[in-house]
Amino acid sequence: MAGKAPDHRRRILPIPVLIGLLMAIGLLVWLLLRSGRRDELPRYTGYVVSDAIYMSAPVAGTVTSLSVVRGQRVPAGAPLFRIDPTSLGARADQARARIGESEAQAGAQQAELRKARANLAAAETEAQRAAVDLARFVAAQAEKPGSVAGQQIDQARATSLSAFRQRDAARGEVAAAEARIASARAQISGSRAGLADAAQQVAQLSPHAPAPGRIEDVMYQAGEWAAANAAIVSLLPDEKVKVRFYVPQGMVNGFRPGTRVAIACDGCPAGMTATVDYVATRPEYTPPIIYSLETRDKLVFLVEAVPSAPRVLIVGQPMDVTPLARSAG
């Protein structure tokens, strides 16, 4: 009987062996990927933030014109808006009128002061003459009793007393005139200060951008009434733009102020950097956890960095942050 032909069909591996083989291959691939990424720097996800400056006017009024629109970039010194200066113009006119009245009063009081000083000089002369007459009569009576009538001495004494009273009254008139002049001058100074304040506030009715930046929002339109100190335009200065991100507590020591990091975003130029200028002193939790040694790896610290090219960034834009040196880890 002829022998059976050999069976050339492929043997199928048992399922457990196949599963083990696949797991071994997966583990090998994972180890290779891990070893290949061992030298890669950690990457953190952050976003762009900025502190807005709210521009307003010191007095209420109608917005007569707007020089900017939302989203517009403006240089430092660019005009932003203008408030109707009518009310402040009236205040300035009133201050000028008060200055004129006070100066007229001061001029009149100067004339009164000159007259009072002249009266005082005359009263002092008369008081000195009366005092001399009284002293002469008294000396003569003492030297030769009966040489001067007692009635004459009494009359000289009364004249001298009256002259000194008139002198004292004249001195009071001089002091009062000087006080009135000082008061008029104080009113002039106050009115001039009010005029200067009104002029300054008129200038504040047309503010300019204090720094280059982007207009975040326009709260009022031309023709609308704005209350005093109400924000009309909000500005995001370039110098206030920052990249905010969170770093695990085990790596926060590598992000001290002054540390430079690489930043990147979708559509942004390559090679951008930022410099850390703030690290929070208190940790935060992500997600909320119980503070313990077993879960401290979930603690993160807020870090903020100043970008080298703030003009290309938009507030709220997601950012990727990477340390520039391995020592950051």
Let me know whether 156 and 224 are in one domain: no
In terms of domains, do 70 and 216 share one?
Answer: yes
Domain-embedded: residue 100:
yes
- Does position 73 have pLDDT exceeding 90, yes or no? yes
Residues 211 and 71 in one domain: yes
- Same domain for 102 and 200? yes
Which of 198, 196, 213, 243 has the alpha carbon at shortest distance from 55? Answer: 213
* 204 vs 64, higher pLDDT: 64
Phi, psi (5° rounding) for residue 275?
A: -115, 125
More confident residue, 68 or 201: 68
- Residue 286 predicted with pLDDT over 70: no
**Lowest mean pLDDT: which of 87-96, 254-263, 290-299?**
290-299
Query: To which H or E segment does residue 98 belong?
Result: helix 86-143
Q: Which residues contact residue 323 at a Cβ distance below 8 angstroms, ignoring those fewer than 6 apart?
A: 41, 42, 254, 255, 259, 261, 262, 329
Residues 73 and 219 in one domain: yes
Arithmetic mean of pLDDT, 1-28: 58
* The pLDDT of residue 296: 54
pLDDT for position 224: 94
- Position 181 in a domain: yes
Residue 38 has a pLDDT of 44
Q: Are residues 125 and 266 in the same domain?
A: no
Query: What pairs with residue 321 in β-bridges?
Result: 44, 263
Q: Residue 21: its pLDDT value, please? A: 65
Q: Which residue has the higher pLDDT, 253 or 87?
A: 253
Q: Which amino acid is at 98?
A: R
- The least confident of 8-12, 182-186, 275-279 is 8-12
Query: pLDDT tens for residues 124-168?
Result: 888 888 788 778 777 777 777 866 677 777 787 888 788 888 888
| Amino acid at the residue 27 | L
Query: Which CATH number characterizes residue 149's domain?
Result: 1.10.287.620
Q: Considering the chain, what is the average pLDDT of its residues? A: 80
Would you state the pLDDT for residue 327?
43
Is there a single domain that holds both residue 135 and residue 246? no
Does residue 23 sit within a domain?
A: no
Question: Regarding predicted confidence, which is higher, 285 or 246?
Answer: 246
Does 89 lie in the same domain as 168? Answer: yes
For position 227, which CATH number holds?
2.40.50.100
pLDDT of 7: 52
The predicted structure's pLDDT at residue 31: 56
* Domain of residue 232, residue span: 53-82+207-236
Domain-embedded: residue 29: no
Predicted confidence band at 89 (pLDDT cuts at 50, 70, 90)? low
Instruction: Name the least confident of 52-66, 126-140, 163-177.
Output: 126-140
Of 312, 73, 67, whose CA–CA distance to 211 is shortest? Answer: 73
- Inter-CA distances, 26 with 29, 33, 36, 227, Å: 5, 11, 15, 69
What percentage of the chain exceeds 90 in pLDDT?
31
Q: In what order do the strands lie in the sheet with 233-237?
A: 53-55, 233-237, 213-218, 73-74
Asked if residue 222 is part of any domain, the answer here is yes
Per-residue confidence (pLDDT) for residue 67, from 0 to 100: 94
Mean pLDDT within 264-275 = 91
Final residue of a structural domain among 205, 227, 249: 205
Would 45 be classed as within a structural domain? yes
Judged against a pLDDT cut of 60, whether residue 33 lies above it is answered with no
Number of neighbours of residue 110 by Cβ within 10 angstroms: 14
CA distance 173 to 113: 8
Distance, in Å, from the CA atom of 287 to the CA atom of 295, rounded to the nearest integer, reads 10
Q: Of residues 297 and 138, which shows the higher confidence score?
A: 138
Mean pLDDT of 113-120: 82
Distance, CA of 75 to CA of 54 (rounded, Å): 16
Confidence of residue 290 (pLDDT cuts 50, 70, 90): very low
Secondary structure (DSSP) of 277-310:
EEE-SS-EESS----SGGGGGGEEEEEEEEES-G
Is residue 321 within 8 Å of residue 276, measured between CB atoms?
A: no
At residue 116, the pLDDT reads 79
Are 91 and 164 within one domain?
Answer: yes
Whether the pLDDT of residue 114 is over 60: the answer is yes
pLDDT of res. 295: 53
